[in-house]
Structure formats: structure tokens, C-alpha cells
Structure 1
Amino acid sequence: MLQSGNIRQSEECLTSNLQDVGVMRLARSSSASSEEESPTMVLPTSGSSRLKYISLGVLVLQTASLVLTMRYSRTLKEEGPRYLASSAVVSAEALKIFTCVCLVFRENNFSLWALNQLLKEEIVNKPMETMKLAVPAGIYTLQNNLLYVALSNLDAATYQVTYQLKILTTALFSVSMLGKRLGFYQWLSLLLLMAGVILVQWPTGSEGDSEQKVLSASSRFVGVMAVLVACVSSGFGGVYFEKILKETKQSVWVRNIQLGAFSIVLGFIGMMVYDGEQVSQSGMFQGYNSITCTVVVLQAMGGLVIAVVIKYADNILKGFATSLSIILSTLVSYFLLMDFQPTGVFFFGAVMVIAATFLYSYERQPASSSAIKL
């Protein structure tokens, strides 16, 4: 059972991870014509650049909407059993696969024969390519379970501080695995972003203190180790998936079908392990209503949006988009759901996140020491 002080933070973090299977590639541009090192804003110069920022904007809105809808759905008081989160995950994966199949069908001029041939050629006849997607699917399944362990063994403050290390692990894996070059401003903005998110999600009131008193040293150790492994798996899994997408010519929709096939199997196993008794008693779709269906649709939509973000942006920028969505969902929650009272710490953290977002858009003009590469 999750502790009360962790509910708001856990919903936002778990929402991000349940739909998060994609990472993206940073499109950097630098001018070699100037010898002076002066900060310049990197502006979109092509249709793909515009689509990058559009997809990131849609991701912010989609993630914020999902957090708010999920929170609202879990607070509704209705007769009968509440819907199972594990069931919603499986349903969202099924819907995402169906949607991707429809998109591939459309790309093949609505020809069933062409669709069948393509899926057979890309999935069945290339088992090694398909098996590559088992790695990120397994990693994210492990990650989600680790987050539940961490939330059960840490107070909200410790959890939020340690979990934001995923921002740095993502950057480190992007540099080491993909050969990205991040300048001083980029590293500084990542540190600023991490600090800002910590402040934005810092627990209010005395709940955190009261929780911390009842946690044993062994529980805290288990919780910290779980969240650290989750941070590493988050960075590695995302960058690994990005590497697969960037190094092959397969359609991103076909890759999503391959990934979804593994994810739905692992998700179903997880549902039966954790909620098998409830499923056998009341069925997989117990407690479903219009709000639940909206949650499932938004979660499936998140997978599709992330696929576009993967193609035109990168995992680091996705981290900024997710951070902005946390601020947006929290403010909307205050005005509509009235279940959160923003504090000075929250607003200070929000300013830091926004400042980090703008800072990341700046880079120094070419210089031998302006980029750090592992």
C-alpha cells in the first residue's frame, strides 16, 4: 500500500513510466563561421525541426492530461470495485498495437495483403530484429516494479530527490551510447532541471516527516537501491530503444508493434501476479467506466506521441517536456481539483524548470573545449 504522502508524486512518476518507452535524438546545429563564443538560440530550420517542437508540445499536454485524468479516476467514489491499474496498462498496450496496425495499414494504401506481407517480413521473418525490442520492454517492466518498491520503502522527499537522477543517467547514456556532445550550458541546464523538479514535487506539510520516522534503516536502504536501479534502467532502456530506431530503417509504427507485443505479454503476467485474485473474482475490466476508458486512450496516445518525439527530438528533450507537464498538471489540479496548495518552494522550482528549458536551447559557438564527450 502506498503511503499517503506519496500519492501525488507517485501518480505523476508512474504515469510517465507506464507510457514511457521512447527516447529521442538531439538535433544539434552549430555554426563554424564565428570564432567568438557567444550564446545563441538554436532555432528550427526545417519542417522536421518544427515537428520536433510540435510533438514535444503535444507530449506536454498529453502527459498533463493523463496525470489529471488518472488522479481524478482514482479519487472517484463509486459502488463496486475500483479499476485495476495493471489492467489499464494492458488495455492501453492493446489499443496502441491496434492503432499502429491501422497506421501501417494506411501507409500501405489500405491493402490487407500488403499489410500482412509487411508484418510477416518485418516481424516473423526477422526474429532477431524483433527480439531486440524484448530488452526495453523487460527493462521498463522491471522499472515500474522497482518504483512500487521504492514508493513503499521511502518517504516522499527522499524518493523525489533520488528519482530525479534519471535526468542525469539519461544524459550520460546518450553521450556514451549515441555519441552526443553536450556543451557546458546543456549540462548546467540538466542540473538546474533536476533541482527544479525536486522542488516542484517536494512534499508539503508534516506528512513527509511523520513517514520518515516509521521507516527503518533497512527499508530506506531497499528503497534507495530500488530507485537508483530504476534511474539507471530508465536511462539505459530509453537510449537503447532510441539507438534501435535510429540505426534501422523499419517504420516507427512497426517498431511500436514489436515493442507492444512484448509489453502486453509482460504486462499481462504482471497483472496476474499482483492482481490475479481480483481478476479471477471480478474480471479484468472491473470498475471500468467512461473516465477509465479516457485514461486508457490517453495512455495509448502517449505511446504514439512518444514515437513521434523519438523520431524528431531526443530523450533529453523529452525529460524537459515531462518536467513542464508536471508543473502544468499541478497548476490545473490546484484550480480544478483543488487537491493541491502551491507553495513558494513550488513556484521557485517551477521557475528553475522553465529557466533550465530555455538555457538548454542555448549553446556556445564552436570551440574545442565547449563540448563534453565521454
Structure 2
Amino acid sequence: MASMDDQKRVSSADDGTDKLDTDLELTPLEGTQEEATEMDHKKNEAYTHNRINKYGYIKYVSLVVLTIQNAALGLSMRYARTRDVPHMFSSPAAVLMAEVVKLIICVGLVIQESGNVQKGCRSMYAVVILNFKDTLRVCVPSFLYIIQNNLLYVSASNLDAATYQVTYQMKLLTTAFFAVLVLKRKLKKWQWLALGLLASGVALVQLSSSSGGSKDTEGQSRVLGFSAALAACFISGFAGIYFEKVLKESDISVWMRNVQLSLLSLPFGTITYVIKEGSMNDLLKGFDGFVWYLVVLQAAGGLIVAVVVKYADNILKGFATSVAIVISCVVSMYLFDFHLTVQFACGTALVMGSIFLYGYVPKKPDPRNNLV
């Protein structure tokens, strides 16, 4: 006896179709595809939402950390070099130790980037040792950064923290100068205006300092401090552009490049220390908890900037720098008996405004607005 299914198949034979097959197979299949598409859409939305939240979180956390690091470094360097201690630490020793700490951090980041210790070590051996000719390309910036960091200690020893913080923003001007000279980069009109405002602001700050905006400590020379800061700015500008050129000409990661940079900085830092102190004896003399904190803070600076550049933009980075300047000024008034003058306030405002203006990127016009 024929089943009900068979009877239905026969009854639909005249149409040349199989209604039962369609009902039983195609309809459920269509429903499954719709459900799968909807589920995929929801998954993609959730992934995108989580990714945006994650990157947004990293962006703002890194900016907060950069702001605190910028403000804390200038204030801490000033305090470390002017406090009353039995044995003052050697600034070349602090610079050398900062490179050691940075090397350790970057090695850890390369290993994390590679997936495990074995792969990370193999990668570093291949890039740093076997391809040593390429490693030598970062000799120039590694030497210059050692000199720059030593000059910053000289500047921090002779300028109050607020003046030091504002003056060191001249590195924006020198970086732009070398970007035009070395990388043939073209600056926009508002960027040239920003550089002019920056120079004017720093000049006002220096005039304010020389007319009694801050008090000297014994043995302090504002001329020496300003000269050291200015030299550090020129070195920072050239070294930064040179290192950027090296980074862009290869596919080696920024962490691996920093391993090369720190590794080559060690002999330069050692030579600098020996020239100043005469021998390697008492390398860590005067190093206490605060000095080690300062060393780690200085080592972390460049790495924090790398994260900010990756996840944020120039305007937000400029905002972080500006807030750091304000923090330095406020804290200096309480810790270092710094007196805020009208000249200093105007100069600082010009510097902060120039930072924002230089990093400004106008929005491109929407082509849809031109449609009639």
C-alpha cells in the first residue's frame, strides 16, 4: 500500500515539480541561512563593538599615562637634582641605567610579539646579530639619545620644572626643521604659524624666568640650563627624524628597533659615564628608591609615546603635553616656590596653542555635499 508521502509525490507529477521535497527541504534550509546570516551579523557587530571599546580604552589610558609621565619626569628630575642628600647620584649613570631598563622592557615586548621565548630569542638573534649591518644603522640615534638625555639632566638641574617643561617643547620646532630638511616634508601654512608661536612662547617664558619668575638654588645657571635644553631639542629633532627614516625603510617592528637602539646605547652610555666620573667605580652611588623610580620613568617615556602614536592622534598627544605643562606649573608653585608671572602665563599659553595648531588636521570635505 502506497504511503501518504508517495501519494503526494504522484499527485504533483503533472506539474513537473516535487512539492513535498520543496516543503521538506528548501523551506527549512532557507530558514537556517537567514538565522546563520543574522547570527554572523550579530557576531560581527559584537566584535566591532568590542574592538572599538578596546582601542578606545587603550587610547585614553595611554594618553592619561603619557600626561602623568611627562609631568612627573620634569618634576622628578628637578627634585632629584636639587634635594639634600649625602651623595648625589651621577646623571650619566641614571641615563645608562634607563637604557638597561628600556632594553629589558623591549626584549619582553619582542618575546610577547613573537608568541614565546624561543621564537622571540631566535628573532632577535636573526635581526640584531646576524644582520648586524642593519643594526649599525641605529648607531647615530643611539649615540645622540645618550647625549640628549644627559643634557636634559643638566637643564633640569639649572631650570625650574615649569620653565624646563615649556622650553623643551622647542623640540617640535627642531623636529619640523629636520623633517623638511631630511625627509623633504612639506608643512602647511598653519604649521609654520604654530612654529612661530612656539618660538615666541618659549622666548616669553625665558624672559619671565630671567626677570624673577623663579628662584635660583645655589650653583644654578639659567643660561646653562637653557643652552642645554636648546641643544637637547636640536639633538632630539635630528635623532627622531633619523630614527623615523630607519623605521620606514624596513619592516622591522618598532620594539625590535628599540632593542637595537638600547643595545647600542649601552657602550655609548658607559663611555659617557667614564669620561665624566673617571672610572666605573661607584656606578650606583647615590641611587636610592627615588632615583630608581626616576630611571624607570625615563625608560618608559619613549615606549608610552609609541603606544600613543599607534592608538591616538597628534591633537590628543598635544593635549596630553599641554596638560602636563599645566600640572608642572601648578606643582612647581607648591614644591619649588615657583612664582607664576603674566609673561610666563602668556608664553605658556602660546606654547600650548602652538602644539594644538601644529597637530591640527582639517577634515576633508564630503564629496556628497557637492552633489546637486
Fold shared, TM-score > 0.5 on shorter chain: yes
Q: Which moved more, 1:242-251 or 1:326-335?
A: 326-335
Please tell me whether the aligned partners of residues 161 and 198 of structure 1 are also in contact (alpha carbons under 8 angstroms): no
1:82 matches 2:88:
yes
CA contact (8 A) 1:242 1:310 kept: no
8 Å CA contact 1:82–1:287 kept in 2: the answer is: yes
Match of 1:256 in 2: 258
TM-superposed CA distance for 1:87, in Å, is 1.0
Find out whether 1:107 has 2:107 as its counterpart: no
8 Å CA contact 1:66–1:295 kept in 2: the answer is yes
2:194 maps to a residue whose letter is S
Name the residue aligned to 1:198.
203
Specify the SS of the correspondent of 1:83. Answer: coil
Residue aligning to 2:243: 241
The structure that has the greater radius of gyration is: 2
CA distance in 1, matches of 2:325, 2:357: 19
Which structure shows the bigger proportion of residues in helix conformation? 2
Are 1:118 and 2:123 an aligned pair? yes
Check the 8 A contact 2:78/2:156 in 1, yes or no: no
- Over 3 Å counting, the alpha-carbon distance change for 1:341 and 1:151 in structure 2 is closer
Aligned to 1:173: 178
1:273 CA drift (Å): 0.9
Cα distance in 2, alignment partners of residues 331 and 286 from structure 1: 32
Q: CA deviation at 1:351?
A: 1.8
Equivalent-residue separation in structure 2 for 1:225 and 1:355 (angstroms): 24
Cα contact 1:166–1:231 (8 A) shared by 2: yes
- Give 1:19-98 correspondences, 5 Å limit: 55=62, 57-78=64-85, 80-98=86-104
Aligned residues between the structures: 307
SS in 2 for 1:286: coil
Deviation, structure 1 residue 323: 6.1
Aligned-residue Cα RMSD (Å) equals: 4.2
Call closer, same or farther: CA 1:165–1:347 in 2, change over 3 Å.
closer
Matched, 1:188 2:193: yes
SS at match of 2:278: helix
- State the percentage of identical aligned residues: 43
Query: Is the CA contact 1:160–1:198 (under 8 Å) kept in the aligned structure 2?
Result: no
- Gaps of at least 5 residues in structure 2 are 1-51, 159-163, 366-372
Change (3 A) 1:285 1:333: same
Relative contact order (alpha carbons < 8 A, sep ≥ 6): 1 or 2 greater? 1
- In structure 2, what is the equivalent of residue 354 of structure 1? 352
Deviations 1:161-203 (A, max 9, x none): 9987643331122234334332111211121122223333541
Q: CA deviation at 1:95?
A: 0.7
Return 5+ residue gaps in structure 1 as ranges: 1-44, 154-158, 368-374
**Residue number in structure 1 paired with 2:337:** 339
- Separation of aligned partners in 1, 2:133 and 2:268: 19
- Please report the TM-score for the alignment, with normalisation by the length of structure 1: 0.67
SS in structure 2 of the partner of residue 287 of structure 1: coil
CA distance in 1, matches of 2:144, 2:95: 16
